[in-house]
Amino acid sequence: MSDRFNTVAGWALFAGIIALGGGIVSSKYFHAERPEKMGYAIEGVEAEGEGGAASGPGLNTLLASADVAAGEKVFAKCAACHTINQGGANGIGPNLFATVGEAIGQGKGGFAFSDALKSKGGNWTFENLDHWLKSPREFAPGTKMTFAGLGNPADRANLIAWMNTQGSNLPLPAADAAPADASATPAEAAGNATNAAESVEGKAPANAAPATGPAAPGK
């Protein structure tokens, strides 16, 4: 009985040694490091070295071509907490009439803004509104705003453009200049710039009457 027990114990010990040795050897050949090139993209994970570089048109370009009607539809997501008509009552959130361009976290009929927002300072510029709408908690950590944010840049631009028509009416920025063609030679780039300038400047028609006074202000 004792010999049989010793035999079984010996084989068990031998199997354990083999398994341990195999694990050590295999660890030399297989590493748990991240591969140099990922097999497929994982949403929310940035590739190393990319630095989170922004892609797509910038805010100015999106605002210059914004669809205010679409922005009004986006505001439906905000209507449960906010009014935007002139003289409208505050609700869970403040009334938003003429918000674009005004001081951040001030006024609004005595609405109780969070200290995080009141201490932010500055005005609701297009850029600040875009940042706020993207992530209120990132813009003002500690804010009472519970809305997670709008992830689509076009939705944010459309909403800002529509809000601007509600009592603010600030001039929208011009679209960002298109990037230069990296493949063009310096001479070609200079020629393209000259042609673009001439197309913008234009030429007066031959039968145009000469100007006799200062131009009328725009409406």
Distance CA 116, CA 144 (A): 8
> What's the CATH code of the domain at 128?
1.10.760.10
pTM above 0.75, yes or no: no
Distance CA 57, CA 26 (A): 49
Q: Residue 70: give the domain boundaries.
A: 59-164
| DSSP-assigned beta bridge partners for residue 123 | 103
Distance CA 211, CA 76 (A): 48
Look at residue 209 and tell me if it is in a domain. no
Q: Bigger pLDDT: 218 or 89? A: 89
Look at residue 148 and tell me if it is in a domain. yes
Look at residue 149 and tell me if it is in a domain. yes
Look at residue 39 and tell me if it is in a domain. no
Look at residue 54 and tell me if it is in a domain. no
Look at residue 157 and tell me if it is in a domain. yes
Number of domains in the chain: 1
Q: Provide the pLDDT for residue 12.
A: 61
Please give the single-letter amino acid code of residue 108: K
Q: 62-81: per-residue pLDDT in tens?
A: 999 999 999 999 999 999 99
Look at residue 83 and tell me if it is in a domain. yes
Q: 158-205: per-residue pLDDT in tens?
A: 999 999 999 999 999 999 998 765 555 555 555 555 554 444 344 444
Distance CA 18, CA 20 (A): 6
Q: 78-105: per-residue pLDDT in tens?
A: 999 999 999 999 999 999 999 999 999 9
Look at residue 82 and tell me if it is in a domain. yes
